[in-house]
Every structure is written in structure tokens, then in C-alpha cells.
Amino acid sequence: MKWKDVMSDKIKKTDEEWRQKLSPDEYAVCRQRGTERAFTGRYWDTKTPGVYHCAGCGEPLFDSDTKYDSGSGWPSFYQPFDPDSVEENRDTTHGMIRTEVHCAKCDSHLGHVFEDGPQPTGLRYCINSLSLKLHEK
């Protein structure tokens, strides 16, 4: 069974349950689509090997092998851990047209994806540290 076939298992919590699970800063990013300031997150320059999981539900999202220094001040990856682990939607906030990335399992906001990344994908998943938990190898 493919991961997408179990999407009925999508995590649903009340606003209060999310507030109890996440720190106030994590809640602001993951549930209110906020953005941490560049060069301030705990993972923007981390080179520790491991897998980055969703801070909201624990799903694996990005492998450190795909992380690179984009110069943006946020953790950047050229591909997700599994293509089905993230979902994208159009974001027209702040007078821009961007592609938002969120966790496919719990809908936590992660960041945005841009088409200015390195090969082999040419993509830059620009992700908030507050939406991630690194599980070191």
C-alpha cells in the first residue's frame, strides 16, 4: 500500500491540542503559517547527519543528504524524504505568488519551495527550523 493510500489517517487535532503539543513559536509557524527570521533557526546551518521530521506529527520530511547552504538563512533541501511526505499549494500572501509546502500527514506549515535550487531537482525547499525536529543518525 502506498503512503497516499492511507491519507484517511491524516492527523486532526483541535486548536487547543496543537497549542498543548507545540511551543508558542512552533505553533505560530506550523499552525498559523508564520515564518521565523532568517539566520535565527536552530537548523539553518546545521550539518549534522540525520532525518528531519515534522515538529507537529513526527513524520520524516527531509534527509540531511539533500540539505545544502542556499545562503537564504533557512534550512534548504533539494527534495523531500518521500515525494508523498509534503504537499504544496499556491500562496498569494504578502503581495507575492509562491508555493507553500506543508506536511501531508498533519498539514503543518513548513515553508516554501522555489525553482532556484541545485541539481538534480533544481528545487529549493526553504523550510522553517521551528517546523522540524532532527533525528540524528
Show binding-site residues: 54, 57, 103, 106
Pick out the residues of the known binding site for Zn(2+). 54, 57, 103, 106
- In the annotation, is 126 catalytic? yes
**Which residues, other chains included, contact 75 with Cβ-Cβ below 8 Å and sequence gap of 6+?**
41, 43, 44, 46, 52, 62, 67, 126, 127, 128, 129, 132
d(CA 87, CA 46): 24
C-alpha cell of 106? 498533519
Active-site hit among 101, 126, 127, 132: 126
Q: Just list the catalytic residues.
A: 126
